[in-house]
Amino acid sequence: MRTAAIVILVLMVTFAATSLFAAEEDSIAAIFVFGRTGGWTTSGFSVGDGSYIVTSADALTETLPGGKTVPIRYAAVASRWTGDAYIGTVVATDPKARIALIKLPVPAIPPVAIAGDDALSRVKKATLGQLLSGDEVGAKFPTTLYGLKIERDPTRFTVGKWKGTNACISEVKDINWLFLTKLDPEDGTPKAALVSKPGLGALGIFFSKLTLENGQQPVVFHQVLPCTALRATLVKAGVPADKLSQPPSLDGPAKDAETAFQLISIALATSRTAHPSALTMAEAAVRARPDNAIAHLLAATAQASQGKHEDAIKSINKALELDPKIPDGTLQKGRILAAAGKLDEAEKELRKALEADPKDTRPMLDLVAILIDKEGKLDEALKLAKDVTKLTPEDLGGRIALARVLKKKKDYDEAEAELKAILEIAPKLGEARVGLAATYEAAGKKDEAEAQYLLLVEQEPENPGAHLLLIDFLIRSDKKDEARKAIEKARELKLQPEALEALKKLEEGLGEAEKQDS
């Protein structure tokens, strides 16, 4: 806690006197993505009226266990101009142009003008063959790239700057891509960085670094979607064309924007982890921006993760008071209430979230987890689980939930078949492996269950949870010698206090069983 407090103090002192940046730097946004399998941070920049954020399409998709790629619906965006965070909706994705567009609830980041088509008229053209030859092509064409950078010790979110010297245009798959060479520095450019030229505005959006070694020496190109294709894609997505060329100015910036931006960005980043500083940073963000709903939502998430459920309920209620329509607000409230053991209230909130979006499978799955243990609700849980698998057959989490309900209904053969099918797709998906072992055990197939627990440990040898599940099963199965050996093997791991405590309780239980036998 003391370290986090020092970080906050350093941030407040460091950024209180920070001078204003140029308009192009101000357009850079910090984007925090939360998917079903994790979270990540990416760069983007503002266009139009300041409520549209352009970023990479790749950053707004995720790959689920089993290999299926699915889109992300929402992303949190932090503004260096206002110091606030916003939940943006992904309103368009263009796989060919490889960009995505996020819409914020209000204009919050100064937009950059998209350069006219003639801005690239003097750039030298090169054929794809010339480009792939590995020989240096292009001519002098100075550019500047801006993108989000994450610094460490202490953590800071800053705008990086790269200078390009040469450029050429080459057609690839019906798009005249801009290729930059001789960047300084050569490395570290984030995907979706803004490419600009003083006085002209945005020349495009950076995607990837390519190194070709067919020539006498390696040649590095930086691939950019140019302003012509960028503008056409954005207009097609619904951004007014006139605001792309001549965007309006925004009031501001807020006096303490940089300090608040750092605090809320760090809070967003740490909220994806179980790090003890997550709560400290979220509470600091609330103090910096007491009227920002996202800050209170982050505090609620951090408080719930630390078992402070009553505080979490107060925080989520405050977030919804500030913004009743905050995306996922009702869903998060339902989850927090469920974690607090207030299942009837949680069920009510989750049903509200499902009513608001009947095709959102997340409240469905959360409801399944509650209804599966409620008397008379098992059939509804089964229907919801089946609805999830119909809506998103690629989501293996939904199929695991369906198997869990089938097991609860004692349809062991169907549950077993479903879990085996999942493991055919994702053999190392531990949740499915545990589910199959539990199903075998419930069906009285102890040998098959033991084989699955052993395989789980084999696949995840450094995972304490896998070892603890095996030990618990062996004790329940009255296999004391095997359990004792498994305990000794678990002790060889670097166990955290919680895992050590769980292992100690299992060992005590084994000791009691051994005493009874003697």
Q: CA-to-CA distance for 96 and 29, rounded, in angstroms?
A: 23
Domain with 481 in it: 462-518
Query: Is a pLDDT exceeding 50 seen at residue 459?
Result: yes
Residues 485 and 511 in one domain: yes
55 and 133 co-located in one domain: no
Q: Are residues 446 and 511 in the same domain?
A: no
Q: Is residue 302 part of a domain?
A: no
At 211, which CATH number?
2.40.10
Same domain, 472 and 444: no
More confident residue, 485 or 17: 485
Q: Which of 459, 480, 504 is the last residue of a domain?
A: 459
Residue 12's pLDDT band (cuts 50, 70, 90): very low
State the pLDDT at residue 21.
38
Question: Which of 240, 258, 276 is the endpoint of a domain?
Answer: 258
Structural domains of the chain, count: 4
The residue among 249 and 8 whose pLDDT is bigger is 249
User: Which CATH number is 85's domain given?
Assistant: 2.40.10.10
Q: What is the pLDDT of residue 11?
A: 45
How much is the pTM? 0.84
Copy the structure tokens of residue 344: 């009837």
Is the domain of 96 the same as that of 13?
yes
Secondary structure (H, E, C), 459-473: HCCCCHHHHHHHHHH
Give me the pLDDT at residue 211, please. Answer: 79
Mean per-residue pLDDT for 278-290? 93
**Is 270 a domain residue?**
no
Q: Considering the domain boundaries, does residue 89 fall inside one?
A: yes
Same domain flag for 8 and 102? yes
pLDDT of 170: 87
Question: What confidence category does residue 214 fall into, taking pLDDT thresholds of 50, 70 and 90?
Answer: low
Per-residue pLDDT averaged across 476-494, rounded?
A: 92
Asked whether residue 466 is assigned to any structural domain, the reply reads yes
Average pLDDT, the chain: 89
User: Do 56 and 80 share a domain, yes or no?
Assistant: yes
pLDDT(5) > 70: no
Whether the per-residue pLDDT at 67 is higher than 50: the answer is: yes
Choosing from 441, 459, 477, the residue where a domain stops is 459
pLDDT in tens, 75-134: 999 999 999 999 999 999 998 888 999 999 999 999 999 998 889 888 888 877 776 776
Is pLDDT of 302 > 70? yes
* pLDDT given at position 244: 94
Which residues are within 8 A (CB) of 65 and not within 5 positions of it... i.e. 6 or more apart?
A: 37, 396, 425, 426, 429
One domain, residues 108 and 253: yes
Query: Does residue 10 have a pLDDT over 70?
Result: no
